[in-house]
Structure 1
Amino acid sequence: LQVFVETLDKCFENVCELDLIFHVDKVHNILAEMVMGGMVLETNMNEIVTQIDAQNKLEKSEAGLAGAPARAVSAVKNMNLPEIPRNINIGDISIKVPNLPTFK
């Protein structure tokens, strides 16, 4: 329990009750780094913090993916096609495009 509290303090920089409430997912990840299957597997605070920091960096790098659908629609709208293709042929694959509404 002492290692868990000290790790929370390191990750949240002076942890308080509100940190636990508003960042329950991060608290769960910290606990998951320490305990698996009801057994404490990791008690090295530095190793736990390193893994949590790596996970936070990954989450930040994936944050840009949330806007991908909007960027895809914008790219399709900005395409300068003289007409909408009706058949798309790629090698042996032939795709018939249904009538689509115009993008404006």
Structure 2
Amino acid sequence: MIKAILVFNNHGKPRLSKFYTYFNEDMQQQFIRETFHLVSKRDDNVCNFLEAGSLIGGSDYKIVYRHYATLYFVFCVDSSESELGILDLIQVFVETLDKCFENVCELDLIFHIDKVHYILSELVMGGMVLETNMTEILTRIDEQSKLEKQEMTFNVLVDKLKAHRV
């Protein structure tokens, strides 16, 4: 099971954090700091898996991460998850973000956090992997965008009707 998903920049600033296991705010912040400290100090040519037991109090937790340009994508998982499967999931997440934002960057994560969370929820919910097919994920995102546009059009029409009545 996935316990947490973090994305932070090269300076350790969290740009996305999603915890699927309850941790109080202080523990979350400590986990983010310590995780950044661990992964940022590693060479690019070493393994992308770490034991994380001391960070979150369990002996069977692992950190699986990928470093892309200025962003670290980090998944904290238990022993039931395959490290290679999680690396593939990170790749699907990043490629989906790339397709949605045309070469995703840190600012996309900051200014479109709602869409990033929606994309993430198409991949993972409640700590369980839902979908790994990028085409399927992109189809759902397109459907969501169409619904949002319809809702905005509807709201504009309602506002015009209200203004006309007054």
Q: Scaled by the length of structure 1, what TM-score is found?
A: 0.67
Aligned to 2:140, which of 36, 48, 51?
Answer: 51
1:24 counterpart = 2:80? no
AA aligned to 2:111 is F
Aligned to 1:39, which of 123, 128, 139?
Answer: 128
User: Which protein is bigger by CA-based radius of gyration?
Assistant: 1
User: What percent identity do the matched residue pairs reach?
Assistant: 67
| Matched residue, 1:95 | none
Indicate the structure whose relative CO is greater, using CA pairs within 8 Å and at least 6 residues apart: 2
1:22-66: CA deviation from partner (whole Å, max 9, x where unpaired): 000000000000101101110000000000011001101111233
Structure 1 residue runs of 5 or longer lacking an equivalent are 78-104
Considering fraction of residues, name the structure with more strand.
Answer: 2
Considering fraction of residues, name the structure with more helix.
Answer: 1
Structure 2 residue runs of 5 or longer lacking an equivalent are 1-89
AA aligned to 2:93 is F
| Cα drift, residue 73 of structure 1 | 3.6
| Cα drift, residue 70 of structure 1 | 4.2
1:57-93: CA deviation from partner (whole Å, max 9, x where unpaired): 110111123331342241x24xxxxxxxxxxxxxxxx
- TM-align CA RMSD: 1.3
Single out whichever of 5-14 and 65-74 deviates more from structure 2.
65-74
AA aligned to 1:31 is L
| Matched residue, 1:100 | none
Q: Scaled by the length of structure 2, what TM-score is found?
A: 0.43
**What pairs with 1:56-67 in structure 2 (closer than 5 Å)?**
56-67=145-156
| Matched residue, 2:162 | 72
